[in-house]
Amino acid sequence: MQKTFEVQGTPEVEIRLSSGEIEVDATVDGRVEVELLAHDEESQQFVDEARVELQGSRVLVDVPQKRGGFSLGSLFGRQGVTCRVRCPEGSLLSVRSKSADVSVRGAIGGMNVATASGDVEADRVLGGVNVKSASGDVSVRLVTAGVNVQTASGDIELGAVRGGVNVNTASGDVTIGEADDNVNVSTVSGDQEHGAVMRGNVSAHSVSGDVHIGVRRGSKVYLDCSTVSGDTSSELELSPDAPATDGPLVEIRAKTVSGDIRITRAPAPAANQEHQEVHA
């Protein structure tokens, strides 16, 4: 199935797909193209019954769910439906799935994903990101607004985030390359890697996972770190007196039970890297 819709302004693409793959390419102008490809006979029936329609500025892609049981395709080959969408840069994306993986190329305006075990991967999000997952991994290279991720066991990797970050996971590892605003990360056994923080409140809580936080040079730092049986170390020069510099203040509160806590200086950013990432 293939359909094309001419759109004005900023479209919202809403995809409901239980299993398979969702591929979004935000590199075309003035239209939204949708293609549904089935990988087995049972999935072809769902493609034939799918709703693909334009509702105002929203493009809805609704593929029926499997009605229990399993098919031979799940044992001997690829199963489910591939949904390919091409849309304008800045489009809003909303996805609901059980196990479908989500892959986004180009720059979208915002992303909202609810999935059980599907992985989520995106290049650039020029807005906010909201992901709820049970075991899927989440990877986003650049987010210009806030991020909210809740998962049980999936790993979370965020390249650079210009807004606030709120992450809650049980056993997944969390990696944040750069954070320009408040950060709140809670894990049970997953490790936390904060490559570079520069301002705001950074709260990093873990039970048995290790926590590493890099502080951007030039920032003033307030540290409140505690662990029951883990080790705590800092490369920063500590003093009970407030620093006299005029740099941004970052307040770090890191707590673990058995995990180690390590505070270091973050490496200097590459020249013009932020400008190129946001405006490319």
Beta-carbon count within 10 A of 273 CB: 11
Q: What is the 3-state secondary structure (H, E, C) of the chain?
A: CEEEEECCCCCEEEEECCCEEEEEEECCCCEEEEEEEECCHHHHHHHHHCEEEEECCEEEEECCCCCCCCCCHHHHCCCCEEEEEECCCCCEEEEECCCCEEEEEEEECEEEEECCCCCEEEEEECCCEEEECCCCCEEEEEECCCEEEEECCCCEEEEEECCCEEEEECCCCEEEEEECCCEEEEECCCCEEEEEECCEEEEEEECCCCEEEEECCCCEEEEEEEECCCCEEECCCCCCCCCCCCCCEEEEEEEECCCCEEEEECCCCCCCHHHHHHHC
pLDDT exceeds 50 at position 226: yes
Residues 101, 21 contacting (CB under 8 angstroms): yes
Q: Which of 122, 159, 164 has the alpha carbon at shortest distance from 145?
A: 164
pLDDT exceeds 80 at position 76: no
Q: What is the 3-state secondary structure (H, E, C) of 183-197?
A: EEEEECCCCEEEEEE
Percent of the chain having pLDDT more than 70?
Answer: 88
DSSP string, 144-191: SS-EEEEESS--EEEEEESS-EEEEESS--EEEEEESS-EEEEESS--
Domains of the chain: 1-68+79-106 (2.160.20.120), 146-270 (no CATH)
| Residue in this structure with the two tokens 């990360």, named with its chain if needed | 185
The per-residue pLDDT for 41 is 87
Residues 109, 94 contacting (CB under 8 angstroms): no
Residues 159, 175 contacting (CB under 8 angstroms): no
Mean pLDDT of the chain: 90
Q: Which of 184, 178, 188 has the alpha carbon at shortest distance from 202?
A: 184
Buried/exposed code over 180-198 (b: 16+ C-beta within 10 A; e: otherwise):
bbbbbbbbbbbbbbbbbbb
C-alpha span between 216 and 22 (Å, rounded): 37
Percent of the chain having pLDDT more than 90?
Answer: 81
Q: Which of 72, 87, 154 has the alpha carbon at shortest distance from 115?
A: 154
Which of 165-174, 234-243, 262-271 is predicted least confidently?
A: 234-243
The per-residue pLDDT for 245 is 65
The per-residue pLDDT for 244 is 62
The stretch 81-91 carries a mean pLDDT of 97
pLDDT exceeds 50 at position 71: no
User: Tokens for 19?
Assistant: 């299993």
pLDDT exceeds 60 at position 64: yes
The stretch 250-255 carries a mean pLDDT of 97
pLDDT 10s digits, 91-118: 999 999 999 999 999 999 999 999 999 9
pTM, two decimals, is: 0.89
pLDDT 10s digits, 156-171: 999 999 999 999 999 9
